[in-house]
Amino acid sequence: MKTTVERLDLLIEDIKNNYPSSTYTYMLLILFVLFLVAILFFFVKYGLLGRLFFYGIALLAAGVYYRLGIKKSIQHMQTVSQYGDPEIIGEKQYLANKLAYLNAGIEIKRVRISIIKWIYFFLFPLFLLLMSEIVIGPIVGTGSVIWKYIIALLLGGIIWIFFFNKELEIIYGYEDDAIILSRKI
């Protein structure tokens, strides 16, 4: 049983140290701040309230999506964060509790990366569209906006899917390790 405890401790520390939540939070904040600055610059330069509203709603929706998506995982993590003393609850229950904590940590990482992946997939192309409007001028016509967004989605959005999928593959490896450890308990 000692090797299982050591392996659990190693996985927990590895997830905490190699994939800190602050990394992904900073990625999200950078996109949000750049997007907000671009929105304000666009409004000051052109004064178009309709576009300000459109881009502002997109940014607000992304923030709400992130907050609601991550909230449930964090609440679950808080319920399993106290795994107890092995001398009081027994070695097997201690390992089960610690494994639940590991699984909750993996879930938070997976959910956070997935949510940020989709935010980047949809919001980054919108940011590119906004930047093109700042540099070139406002896009005229809804059809033109939609086509330019589709092009920006193909050029700027798909890259983020591949980037974040590589990160998710590592998280899935942690999930596989947790499954193997659960069979030993």
Residues found in the chain: 185
Query: Could you tell me how many helices (H) and strands (E) the chain has, helices first?
Result: 7, 0
| pTM for this entry | 0.85
Integer Cα distance of 72 and 152 in angstroms: 32
Domain span at residue 61? 2-184
**Residue whose entry in the numeric block shows the structure tokens 């991550």:** 70
Kindly indicate the confidence band of residue 53, based on its pLDDT and cuts at 50, 70 and 90: very high
Sign of CA dihedral 100, 102, 106, 109: positive
**pLDDT at residue 75, rounded to an integer:** 86
Say which residues have a Cβ less than 8 Å from residue 130's Cβ, sequence separation at least 6.
35, 38, 39, 42, 55
The helix/strand/coil state of 82 is coil
Number of domains in the chain: 1
pLDDT tens by residue, 94-124: 888 888 888 888 999 999 999 999 999 999 9
pLDDT > 90? residue 14: no
Dihedral over alpha carbons 72, 73, 78, 83 (to 10 degrees)? 140
**pLDDT at residue 2, rounded to an integer:** 56
Say which residues have a Cβ less than 8 Å from residue 127's Cβ, sequence separation at least 6.
31, 34, 35, 38, 156
